[in-house]
Structure 1
Amino acid sequence: MLFSALPMASMAVSASIENATYSESSLSVDGGTVYYHRIQQSEVDSLQTLLGVRQDGVDYNLLYDGHGTGLSPLSSSEYSTLTEQAYVVSSVVSDLTYASSLDLSNSPYFPAVGDQLSLGACAAWAMTYYCYGYLEAKDQGWTQASSGLASQVLSPTFTYNRISDYNTGSSLSGNAYVIRDWGAATMATMPYDVTDYLSWGSDVAQREAIAHRALSVMYITSATVDTLKVVLQSGSPVTFAMDALTFGTVFNGDGTKKIISAADYNTASLNHAQTIVGWDDTVSEDGDVGAFRVVNSWGTGFAEGGYYWITYKAMLEMLALSPPTYIQDRVGYQPQVTAVVHFSAMPARDSTFSCILQSNVTGTAVKTRTFYYRTTYYQGTAPAFPEYLFVDLTDLLTSYSATNSRFAISFSGGSKTGTVSSYHLEWYDGSYVAGSPTQRSAFAAGLPATTKTVISLASTKYTQMTLAAALDTTALTLSTSGEACWTPVVDTSYYGGDSVVSGDIGNSHSSTLKGTIAGPATVSFYWKVTSESGADYLKCSVDSTVQASISGTTAWTKVSLNIASGTHTITWTYSKSAATSVGADCGYVDRIDTTGGTSDSTAPVTSATLSGTTGTNGWYTTTVSATLTASDSGGVQSTMYKLDSGAWTAYAAPVSITLDGTHTLQYYSVDASGNVEATKSATIKKDSTAPVTTSTTSGYSVTLSRSDAVSGISTTMYSIDSGAWKTYTAAFSAGTTGTHVVKFYSVDKAGNTESTKQISVGGTDTVGPVSSVTLSGTTGSNGWYTTNVGIKIAATDAASGVATTYYKIDSGAWTAYAGYFVYSSDGTHTLQYYSVDTLGNIEATKSTTFKKDAVAPTTSSAVSGSTVTLTSNDVTSKVATIYYQVDGGSWTLYTGAFSAGTAGVQHTVQFYAVDNAGNIEATKQVNVYVDTGAVKVAPSAPTSLSARTTIGGIKLTWIAPLNTGSAPLSGYKIYRSLGTGTLVLIGTSATTSYSDTTMVANQQYRYYVTAYSSAGESAKLGPMIIKLSTILSSESLLGETGMIDIPSDGSDMGEMVQRVPFWVACFAAIVLVGMAFWVIKRRA
């Protein structure tokens, strides 16, 4: 049988399955007729029992020779919706006679061979790039698809990124549903990037994609050679599943033609999606006659330039495990109505997005469209939707009417709520041109609103009009361009009930309206904008020179321009920054009025505005910003400036003066008629540096020296013993006896004030300061700290004041104390410290001792028979006590070797140690088994050795032995050799996995694993032969580079293939919404 996603009935008959009556329909295709019915619940139950369910969090991307695979099965939630959406095709009747050979890849429409690299995107390449890419190239007339022109081949990234759980693979049907609901972008707007498996696609990619939507997907579950030929001869490639690990051996001995025969292919594993492109009845191999032509997604270096052959007999064996699939195109499809949604805060993609057609009268749902993409994530947090979301609503129009014209959007569930900043519809009459709607609805009211709210708007089409009619002008020749174009609208206007609105664009894009006019003339217009203030702008330019701009949210405002003689271009451009969306995120223009002008002979007028922190005497004390503003009745062409002796420069933004000194800014402007303004100048003085004052003393006499390199000294102030401040004019006496404190500072002519300084003068202070230390941290036992130790030193000197404090730890150098610090080294340490006052008196050195140990002790065990000996070590504070327990009993203080228990029983001993600082070791465990003297039987060997790349190397996994022998299993031993060299034990494991991070790139290793117990060691499982071309160094590199490299001569491949288990994807069914790929689990 087959499975159909979107059947088109031409007749209906009655049939039954397991006593359940259902309606059967038929569909005519090129070369035959398909009979189908909606899937019954009994069929769903049987399929789920037979095929199994996708396992949450499992990575289905198995690497082979540096290339990814990635075929994944159907989830349990998708099974639950099959009866509502899936169709089973009962039979196919052929009307054709077949040629002896056919090859669709010879067509100029067939995409060039591509390379999926290490991404698990094989299903996307098979279904999106090859199968649907060929059909769409024929539909669009893309004759350069065969040369790989980016704008004529479809992007696997577009579909894969919407359905993969990070980079863990996808199903054929999942990719097909994305094409059905969202379409497919080309490589030109969404290039294939091996590091990108999460992005949704830009606004340009989304707009392009909906023109390339599929109609339905067919699955052939009782495939024959003739059935495949019917489909291929009707013009559609066919996708199927196989085991990619067989590529290492199946081509051995082949000549120019690379052929897989039934004798070559001996596996039930399925992990890789491929595409059938033709057949040849004369190709033979190992007694098989006739073969299908197949294309892989591993580049032109694979097999015959990316292609190879599978004999009819071998293909039927594969298809008995997994039904082939193909996709039907919407030939000549033209979207008619779309929704555009902007988010100021993006919701997570684990929410479900739907569009609903509602009744204007009752508000009830008339028809609902839920769009397919992944909504569950196990490999990481759910990624966010893009800031810009674009969807095709044409499917709702079958129920659209004057009373059913309210369109709503809904997000349900999800781990993160978003905020919708704008939502509207676009209508396309006639052919669909991406970004060029013929009509646009008003924006939905009540925004912004969270995605927890159902947001709706009513939209009825209005009569299509020209840009000139909406702008009320005939004087300008108008056109529009950009990522999206300006459109006439009737919901907002200044005059006449209509205006034009900028195209709906994503971040960092723009939409331009352009008009040409012959001058001289005066042009006026009205405009307004609703946007992110200071980031998104609507600008008007004449001949590329900006005349005016607006941003934020404004009302209708009039602008007038004087246009000089000759032909000139006026442009209105709405441009978005890379930031978020605010408001409706667009600009409007209306009511362009044009009258004749006069010759302009008057030069423009430019003024300079200076801003910065002003000091005194005309000086600035911070960076100065000079803004030049020019005005002219006919429009300003340019403004020029130069600073000091620099070059003349075109003014584009305020000029910053950062250097101290006196500067001259010269400037002038030129208008649209070429009139040049006389040069003007402005003097700018900047001094941001405070003066410097020093002191010298002779007895009680104090002399102050001042300096300021830029604006000069204005005044110097001093005080004695905190008395009144006085102006310094000459040397002064601080007193006659005792000790006195003199404070002083200077101010320069710009107003910069120096920080106050002080000195001690006279007196008989001969006493040094007094210092003390405070230690902080987590205290353990016996005076030890178990975390880093914080150190704070305080010093006082009542007479002359503290000048500097010094300290050193252990034998380190003396260091000037600058403030609280943290010491991290374990051990017993001595902190020495002292201070010096302003008169040079030195405090006697003090010291304190502190102890830090943040590391717990380490305990090991030794077992001899039933006797257990524990040995513990602690480098810093030494071991205080060791505790142990046997078989979950009470904890006991360890005083010496002890017996774990009786023979013939496995005992579990747990133990830990505590050091003198109070650090407690994590509990460890050892299993103790005492032989009873019976015959010893070693465990059997483990099975199913496999490997995958990890950070720093590889991770080996295997299955525990079926027979553990006469004693409980102790664990596993892992052996490795370099090439065919000597085997070396590299580690043991208590679990069925082991990570090796000691590998060297481009070296071939052989791995073996054994099981062991007290009764002995099993035979070796292996070899697993691995060669890493690159050692991964970070998580971001996982999946980017192929890692497992099998020798080109195929040596040991047979052993390896037999021992690497993979879950097998064997069967598929298509559904209208949701994945449609069932999986049967088998062991190779």
Structure 2
Amino acid sequence: MFTKALKKGLVCGIVVLFLGMSIIPIVGSQQFSIGPNSHNTINVFHSIKNSGTTTYHGTLSGYVTDSDMNPIEGARIRVYFHDTYREDFSDSTGYYHVTAISICNCSKNVTCSKLGYFTEDVWLNIDESTTHDFVLTPMLIYPVLSGTMGENEWYVSDVMVTFVSNGNGSVDEFYYALDEGSWMEYTIPFPVDWDGEHFLHWFWVDDQGNSSDVYWVGFKIDQHEPSIDLVVKRIWFRIWDFTANATDSFSGVKKVEFYIDNNLVGTDTNPPYEMIWRGWRFGKIIKTIAYDNAGNSATTSMHAMTMKPRQRQSQNQPGSQQFSMSSQSHNAVDVAHSIKNIGTTTYHGTLSGYVTDSEMNPVEGARIRVYFHDTYRENYSDSTGHYHVTDIPLCPCPKNTTCLKLGYYTEHVWLTNNESTTHNFVLTPMPMYAVPSGYLGENGWFTSTVTVTFAGNGSSNHSYYALDEGSWTEYVAPFEVVGDGEHFLHWFLADQDNSSDVYWVGFKMDKTAPEWINYTGTPLNLLKTKWLLAADVTDATSGVAKVEFYVDDFLVGNATAAPYEFQYNGKPHNFSQAIAYDAAGNSALCPIIIPIIPQHSQNQNQQSGQTVCQQNIQLLHNLIYNLILRHQTTS
């Protein structure tokens, strides 16, 4: 048995990532178009787990029509709240029904979008059954993307871009820009025939000389199959290791399938793509098929007699012919994934400057974030207040840039970036704000009870707060939050005459270590020099981050994704044990110890429930193993 010291430090966790302000929203550029003067919101693509909190879910339903009251099918209605969202699509009657909406004290931004229409958005207070109808206005001009649609919204063919008009207006000039290219006047449809992720911008000028907003749509192309090679190694008598070296430069490898004589015997979705197979290889055809996320596939095979690869085959597996597209303008989406402009020329710019308060004192630790094309780049100000954001694409659309720091109102501005853009931010202090404090673990998770204290210079005002989906309570003293999970704290200030806007901050708590279910070790050969160590462990709150595998107190490997397995290659030792860590930094030592030594006695075999045949095989294994050890000792 061994122990592992866990290091924890008491820090004051100031959570600035989730600070939301209703009068100064944190915004970027949102998929589907809405007017630049409308409300904006945050859209982060991960699910909220209010573990340990009481959750009351509301609904939003209604109809989507055009100005003539004709139903619009396929409109997307999305409700944003607490850095996540819920959505639904309208049916043939225009009806929609969004469920599982958190009922809390903040209003929620609701958008309704459909290709060829301007996006409508409203701010609503959601209760158990809220209703709202949307009326969409057609856009004058919008693009139609046509091609063969594969999987996961990847085209597997050239994409033809055609702009169409609804005829309700007079357009004098019309311009588009593909990726980071220059503006070009549109005259005829044009193809996009190179792989990668692309962005199309456009605007028009009417007969009065008025220019529209700049809108954009993104689409992805992957016309190439993955690359795959098969390597076969014998581990032991009738035990084989099949390893597929599969790569894909664009959409990425989705999975690899292994076949013996055209019978599927295994599938692997994570690299290294491999499978252990037991059986006779002679006379058999070994085949692997690699699939990418777009639906393309490539096949390689070999005859087991020669072990020479056969000619590789590839194919595209197109899906429906329907195209996926959207029209957008200056609105907010914050999606935590990186843009890959593969196949396009990318020119990156920078944004730098200083962050100060109104008295020109530097503000350290402010987060400056530049939103563009459903992603963002960010940097934090240093002790002098200086920041420097890099790798910003130079495209025709202005980019929403936000500067936020706990205790200050968020500032945001729309900037058109060049190779070296500068902008200084001046932040205004808030009169009162919430500070969650406790033991801060990893990845922004608290690993202790959190104490909430309100700080600021607005002590003469009355401060009211509501935790999660609870009722409003006047703040009089610091209070503790005990339950694990993700929490949201709302607050506002009030005096005799006025009330402030409602603000909120989010924080996460996980005080519980991962839970072990089972730990097993399976020998992969008769000599037991190769073992498959497998950990079955869960974590209900922050999730399992990794599992470390130990043999005789020495770390031999780790696994960071399920299934948590590791193949140990070495001589039999005394025992193996494992430690599981969650995303918050909590750890749990596995209570199960695996002996990885030969079982030398028949009694041990009988206790383990082995049959007579299995006992004889085990005795033969022990004899061979002892002979090898004796030979190694004498030599």
TM-score range, shorter chain: under 0.3
What is the TM-score with the length of structure 1 in the denominator? 0.15
What is the TM-score with the length of structure 2 in the denominator? 0.25
Q: Higher strand proportion, which one?
A: 2
Q: Higher helix proportion, which one?
A: 1
Name the structure, 1 or 2, with higher relative contact order (CA <8 Å, separation 6+): 2
Bigger Rg over Cα: 1
